[in-house]
Amino acid sequence: MVLSGAEIVIRCLQEEKVEYVFGYPGGSVLFIYDALFNQDQVRHVLVRHEQAAVHAADGFARATSKVGVALVTSGPGATNAVTGIATAYCDSIPMVIISGQVPTAAIGQDAFQEVDTVGITRPCVKHNYLVKDVRDIASTIRKAFHLARTGRPGPVLVDIPKDVSMQKCEFEYPAEVAMRSYNPVLKGHQGQIRKALQLLLEARRPMIYTGGGVVLSDAAEALTKLARALGFPITNTLMGLGGYPASDRQYLGMPGMHGTYEANMAMHYCDVLLAVGARFDDRVIGNPAHFAEEPRKIIHVDIDPSSISKRVKVDVPIVGDVNEVLHQFLQQLDASPARPEPDALAAWWKQIEEWRRRDCMKYKHSDEIIKPQFVIQKLWEVTGGDAIVTSDVGQHQMWAAQYYRFDQPRRWLNSGGLGTMGVGLPYAMGAQFAHPGKPVACVTGEASIQMCIQELSTCKQFRLPIKICNLNNRYLGMVRQWQELFHGGRYSESYMDSLPDFARLAEAYGHVGLRVEKPGDVEGALREAFGRKDDLVFLDFQVDQTENVYPMVQGGKGLTDMILSSEDL
Amino acid sequence: MRHVISLLIENESGALSRVSGLFSARGYNIESLTVAPTEDESMSRMTIVTTGSDDIIEQITKQLNKLVEVIKVVDISESAHIERELMLVKVRATGKDREEMKRMTEIFRARIIDVTDASYVIELTGNQAKLDAFIGAIGPELILETVRSGICGIGRGDRVLKL
Ligand SMILES: Cc1ncc(C[n+]2csc(CCOP(=O)(O)OP(=O)(O)O)c2C)c(N)n1
């Protein structure tokens, strides 16, 4: 069948079973939008800013494990998309971004709305392509989807010049992708796994530390089985929350800069550490030299060899897909009569329970002023722990991660790697499209929400009943916290004057807005909001301006060097 | 430590910038980089001379392998190998220097490939040290211009970098 390049693009998306494309039209993608108009299999979500298109597609991918798809025009459309692409790249989210480009003859002529999109995005994509021939569109898009979802996932950009989208050729979607330069290893090395298992079974102070890789490879079930079979303590990073049920006894909470006392102490003082789909990020282990001071054997399972022995030296590297490798672990464990030494494990747990008794998550409740932690606790109660929670970046993000207990994967959507303010609302949009009937809460701050607030309009158009929980402290809270602790309390440009009345702003967009000022009203407001099944409700909680996120490990310090509360200062 | 990394990469536009971009983005050194298509036109072979600790070299090879278009990577300096570089030198050649330049060319097994009444262009291949020695032997006052290709490397014996 002879089709235009634009029609081929849409046919490819249909072949990939893409349900939603998040995008924004413009000159160089007009033919593609025309092809979109003539069908109803692939639905298009018109956002209000290209950054939000990419974030929403990214949120859709995080909530489902499908490939998120965004469509933008050349020049400013592409540059607006860059923040979204970099955000997805840093968290290894599978995405395909299609961008329009000026006609091939105009490339390099400083044409209207021309930028070198492939050049600009090169460092923040898994791979990208400029398609110069209409006959290459189908095979390129096929490869793009393949690259995005296999190996270590990531965003792939396909740049299509306007004339290429107009030219015609015979369409055939390739059934297979064969790339001699790209063959990710999926199965782990059995010998290495045997070695690892032996280390684990002989350990006296074992610890499991898992990250986003567990969520990305849909390995929560296998991980939970393995952790339970071994009876070891376990911690999930900010990107890995929900990989193991947070309400389980074996779970020690999140590690790292704002991790729990018990998780950080156990990470530091264990004698064998099993790291799965995690990358020893600076926000997780603090100062690597300090971390290396305590002798321990490290086993590291990761799909990406370059993540292994990058920041800490690993004793048993295992390259492979996390889910595959965990199943291999389970099979070998099943086949072996050996089990962990119960006395050693009991002694280790005794030590951990002692650490746990420090109760590092406690905070002073108030009847006068709303504590942000309290809002998250109530959010958890009111939603029965079953909402999809997105967040922006700042203190509210840490409180959401700390106080909402995620028992399942893909319920917690946030920008962990790049730390992009503005993702919260678009992530909630993507999640709500993916799960129309499910409660979706966006935990945000009054600064972050304003970075993509225009999307309230998109939410109206598509009737997305998101619940926005704005922890409004009238400060760039996380910045204020650092200024208080490390810059002598000089609050340089971290106070936000002239804030809008968010409840009325939400109403202006056609939504419901509620302003909540008293701790006694928090639960009622949340119940009302979640009771309104069809409405987007913007809850503007006026929270304590001076509250800080604890525990805290200062940047560059060792993991055990924690400030547990303001009394430690 | 100095390392010579050879790699095969798809002969696509932009492939070179992916490699050079990787080095600049991650702060790795490039002493020299050469690239040209192989006998199979669909592939290019690159030789990169770099320096770094063992940890950094390990990361460099892993990061290179991670690039989607990179087919194979080897650190050929890990075992016996040959390095060659081509240099063209334009020298002043007048009066008694004309004979002297010819003598030097012979000693270094170089060739004079362009002659005018005032200058020669001398072609020389060898490893880095030999090329450096030639420049040292001629002396800066007679050198008008030099151009070096950067290093090409290949493993000795039956070690083969092929698809
Ligand atoms: C796009 C972007 N710009 C700047 C920052 C730096 N930054 C991190 S947290 C933060 C303050 C966020 O304030 P708010 O959204 O009100 O959340 P709070 O910390 O008060 O909960 C800033 C400015 C960032 N992460 N992202």
What pLDDT does A190 receive?
98
Other beta carbons less than 10 A from residue A12's beta carbon: 25
Same-domain status, B70 and B120: no
Annotated catalytic residue, options A143, A162, A297, A378 = A162
Asked whether the beta carbons of residue B9 and residue A181 sit closer than 8 angstroms, the reply is: yes
With a cut of 50, list the residues of chain B below it in pLDDT. none
Instruction: Calculate how far, in angstroms, residue B127's C-alpha sits from the geometric centre of ligand 1.
Output: 54
Q: Tell me the CATH number at B147.
A: 3.30.70.1150
- Rounded average pLDDT over A292-321: 96
Three-state SS letters, A297-359: EEEEEECCHHHCCCCCCCCEEEECCHHHHHHHHHHHHHHCCCCCCHHHHHHHHHHHHHHHCCC
Q: Which atom of ligand 1 is nearest to the CA of A475?
A: 20
User: pLDDT digit string (tens) for A455-474?
Assistant: 999 999 999 999 999 999 99
Residues of B in contact with A121 (CB under 8 A): none
d(CA A76, CA A112): 10
Q: Are residues B33 and B87 in the same domain?
A: no
B14·A179 Cβ contact <8 A: no
Q: Do A182 and B14 touch (CB under 8 A)?
A: no
User: What number is the average pLDDT over the span A13-35?
Assistant: 98
For A306, the closest chain B residue by CA position comes to B62
As a whole number, mean pLDDT of residues A436-451 equals 98
A6: left (phi over 0), alpha (psi -120 to 50) or beta: alpha
In a domain, B162, yes or no: no
How far is it, in rounded angstroms, from Cα A490 to Cα A484?
7
Told to judge if A502 belongs to the known catalytic residues of this protein, a careful annotator would answer no
Whether the CB of A446 sits within 6 Å of ligand 1: yes
CB of A471 shorter than 6 A to ligand 1: yes
Distance CA A567, CA A144 (A): 52
The predicted structure's pLDDT at residue A380: 98
- What is the dihedral angle through the alpha carbons of A268, A272, A277, A279, rounded to the nearest 10 degrees? 40
Q: Which CATH number goes with the domain that contains B49?
A: 3.30.70.260
Measured between CA atoms, how close is B50 to chain A, in angstroms?
A: 18
Residues of A in contact with B65 (CB under 8 A): 305-306
Encoding tokens for residue A366? 């108030």
3-state secondary structure of A376: helix
Share of chain A above pLDDT 70, in %: 100
B65 and B94 in a single domain? The answer is no
For A302, the token pair is 């990761």
- Domain span at B106: 82-152
Nearest-CA residue for ligand 1 atom 11 is A476
The rounded radius of gyration (Å) of the Cα atoms in chain A is: 24
Residue A569 has pLDDT above 80, yes or no: no
- Do A2-170 and A372-549 share a fold? yes
The two tokens of residue A191 are 């010998």
Spatial separation of the C-alpha atoms in residues B137 and B135, rounded to whole Å: 5
- Measured by CA distance, the residue closest to atom 9 of ligand 1 is A394
> Is A122 in contact with B68 (Cβ distance < 8 A)?
no
Query: Considering A50, A114, A262, A446, which one is annotated as catalytic?
Result: A50
Q: Tell me the mean pLDDT in the region A112-134.
A: 98
3-state helix, strand, coil in chain A (%, to 5): 40, 15, 40
Catalytic site includes residue A50: yes
Assess whether pLDDT exceeds 90 at residue A497: no
State yes or no: pLDDT of A69 exceeds 80: yes
Q: B117 and B138 share a domain?
A: yes
Domain C-terminal end among B20, B50, B78: B78
The reply to whether B9 touches chain A by the CB within 8 Å rule is yes
Out of B26, B49, B78, pick the residue that ends a domain: B78
Domain count of chain B? 2
C-beta A393 within 6 A of ligand 1:
yes
Best mutation target, A118, A180, A181, to test chain B (most B CBs within 10 A): A181
A306/B contact by beta carbon, under 8 A: yes
| Yes or no, beta carbons of B68 and A179 under 8 Å apart | yes
- CATH 3.10.129.10 assigned to domain A2-170? The reply is no
Asked if residue B92 and residue B56 are part of one domain, the reply reads: no
Residue B62 identity: K
Q: Residue type for A531, please?
A: G
Phi, psi of A121 (to 5 degrees): -90, -10
pLDDT at A552 over 80: yes
Regarding the domain with residue range A190-356, which homologous superfamily does it belong to in the CATH classification? Answer: TPP-binding domain (3.40.50.1220)
Percent of chain A whose pLDDT exceeds 90: 98
CB-based contact (8 Å) between B29 and chain A?
A: no
Q: Is B71 on the interface with A (CB under 8 A)?
A: yes
pLDDT at residue A566, rounded to an integer = 85
pLDDT band at A567 (very low <50, low <70, confident <90, very high): confident
**Rounded Cα–Cα distance for residues A116 and A124 (Å):** 14
Query: At residue A265, does pLDDT exceed 80?
Result: yes
Q: Give the H/E segment covering residue A33.
A: helix A30-37
Mutate to test the interface with A, among B60, B63, B65, B68 (most CBs of A within 10 A): B68
Q: What's the token pair of residue A287?
A: 């100062």
A421 CB near ligand 1 (under 6 Å) = yes
Which of helix, strand or coil describes residue A56? helix
Regarding whether B71 and B46 lie in a shared domain, the answer is: yes
B63 contacts A181? CB cut-off 8 A? no
Identify the CA nearest to A373 among candidates A179, A549, A183.
Answer: A549
The answer to whether A181 contacts B71, with C-beta atoms less than 8 Å apart, is yes
Cα–Cα nearest to A156, from A184, A117, A132, A126 = A126
Q: Which residues of A225-259 are buried (b: 16+ CB within 10 A; e: fewer)?
A: ebbeebebbbbbbbbbbbbbbbeeebbbbbbbbbb
Mean pLDDT of A351-356: 98
Respond yes or no: is residue A112 known to be catalytic. yes
CB contact under 8 A, A309 and B55: yes
Q: What distance lies between CA A27 and its chain's CA centroid?
A: 32
The CATH number of domain A372-549, selected from 3.40.710.10, 3.90.76.10, 3.40.50.970, 3.30.420.40: 3.40.50.970
- Is residue A443 within 8 A of residue A396, CB to CB? The reply is yes
Chain A contact for B65 (CB, 8 A cutoff): yes
**Domain boundary, last residue among B78, B93, B124:** B78
**B42–A contact, CB cutoff 8 A:** no
Looking at residue B82, its pLDDT comes to 97
Within 10 A of A121 (CB to CB), how many other CB atoms are there? Answer: 24
How far apart CA A251 and CA A6 sit, in angstroms, is: 50
- Mean predicted confidence (pLDDT) in A45-58: 98
Q: In this structure, what token pair is assigned to residue A478?
A: 């996380």
The answer to whether residue B62 sits within a structural domain is yes
Let me know whether B12 and B71 are in one domain: yes
Residue closest to A429 by CA, chosen among A408, A458, A450, A407 = A458
Is the peptide bond preceding residue A551 cis, with omega within 30 degrees of 0? Answer: yes
Q: Using a CB–CB cutoff of 8 Å, tell me whether B100 touches chain A.
A: no
Indicate the domain borders of chain A.
2-170, 190-356, 372-549
Mutate to test the pocket of ligand 1, among A51, A258, A393 (most ligand atoms within 8 A of CB): A393
Contact B4, B26 (CB under 8 A): no
Q: In this complex, is the C-beta atom of B70 within 8 Å of any C-beta atom belonging to chain A?
A: yes
| B39 within domain boundaries | yes
Same domain? For B10 and B64 the reply is yes
B158 lies in some domain: no
The Cα–Cα gap between A165 and A29 comes to 8
Please tell me the predicted confidence (pLDDT) of residue A39.
96
From A37, A112, A486, A507, active-site residue = A112
